[in-house]
Copies of this chain bind each other. A is one copy, B any other.
Amino acid sequence: MKKIRIGILGYGNMGKGVELGITQNKDMELVGVFTRRNPEAIKLLTKEAKAYQIAEAKNMTDIIDVMILCGGSKSDIPVQGPEFAALFNTVDAFDTHAKIPEYYDTINQVALKSKKTCVISTGWDPGLFSINRLYGEAILPEGKNYTFWGKGVSQGHSDAIRRVEGVLDAKQYTIPKEEALRRVRNGDMPELTTRQRHLRECYVVAEERADLSRIENDIKTMPDYFSDYDTVVHFISKEELDREHNRISHGGIVFQGGRTGLNNENTHIIEYSLRLDSNPDFTANVLLAYARAAYRLNKEGSYGAKTVFDIAPAYLSMKSNEELRRTLL
């Protein structure tokens, strides 16, 4: 069997997760990792693959079937997405929700022209959570959808705390509120405010002699990030932060509650939850399943940008359609 030849663009946590994930997928092989850093300095786990400078990618279009874009959504993907869609089938985890429609249009235009298939904004949210929001809403149209994140570290909120004067380092956990979960699970279909949904717990390393109560106040009143939430601030040492808060676990839950019956007497609850020891590893594995889909869709002549909504589940599986019907249906 001819394997699907994968390229990795960016060798951070997620790029490394993709490299490991490829070893779990017997129909895939890693060709190369493309990096801004000095490729000589990068030691891959995969003996058969090599690290290259990004500029070399354009000479390897005939030996890479799908390029996985592992850069950040803020500055990397918006530039690399269109560039690479002109050359390769791609998969990315672009997660700036507000900018997805515009990004889709850009990638779609480029990929239709280059006759490539580019899966955008996959992973778990956007990605698997999005799929569950869609299925939930389609099946229980008289209902309500809830997305909870955590417990897990929010990079954006941790960064925001680090910008507060007197803060040396910080980690911020997003935590679903138990009372909210209980009410949703109970079928109450409550209206929940931002404050009722999530708690924000902050572990902060402050400069020596910093005014801790001023820092705490600056955090708790920060608009957009914290002012709409119940926020708990703990001051700890750098050692404790590095020792106890270095994990990259995450997770969350998507609920759809809905009612049916002549008098809406029947309540139904769909609950989809993820508990992930490693956010980047899991996201990497989702991207690989969609790389398989991108490869197959491209072979079928289905070009352009695709989201998880546009891709039938069967495209993600190593199994044939016949085997899927026999073993998983």
Contact = CB atoms under 8 A, between A and B. Distances in A.
Interface of A: 17, 20-21, 24-25, 45, 97, 100-101, 104, 121, 126, 128, 130-131, 133-135, 137-142, 258, 260-262, 265-278, 281-282, 284-286, 289, 292, 307-314, 316-318, 321-322, 324-326, 328-329
A271 B269 contact: no
Contact of A329 (B126, B137, B284, B321): B126
A142 B281 contact: no
Residue with the greatest number of chain B CB neighbours at <10 A, chosen from A24, A100, A261: A24
A111 to B, nearest CB: 15
A312 to B, nearest CB: 5
A328 B133 contact: yes
Contact of A274 (B121, B269, B308): B269
A260 B282 contact: yes
30 contacts: A21-B260, A24-B141, A24-B260, A25-B141, A100-B329, A130-B328, A133-B328, A134-B324, A135-B313, A137-B317, A138-B318, A139-B282, A139-B286, A258-B285, A260-B277, A260-B284, A261-B277, A261-B281, A265-B277, A266-B278, A266-B281, A268-B276, A268-B278, A269-B276, A270-B274, A273-B273, A308-B313, A308-B329, A309-B328, A309-B329
Given A126-B329, A142-B24, A268-B274, A281 B309 contact: no
Contact of A278 (B142, B261, B326, B328): B261
A328 B273 CA distance: 17
A94 B60 CA distance: 48
A149 to B, nearest CB: 15
B278 A20 contact: no
Contacts of A273: 269-273
Given A262-B45, A278-B261, A309 B285 contact: no
Contact of A134 (B17, B97, B278, B314): B314
A309 B271 CA distance: 20
Given A266-B278, A309-B312, A309-B329, A20 B130 contact: no
A278 to B, nearest CB: 4
A316 B134 contact: yes
Contact of A325 (B261, B278, B309): B309
Given A20-B261, A261-B278, A268-B281, 8 more contacts: A101-B322, A139-B316, A140-B285, A141-B318, A266-B278, A266-B282, A271-B274, A312-B312
B20 A326 contact: no
Given A45-B262, A281-B261, A312-B309, A268 B272 contact: no
Nearest to A104: B325
Given A45-B262, A128-B135, A272-B272, A121 B317 contact: no
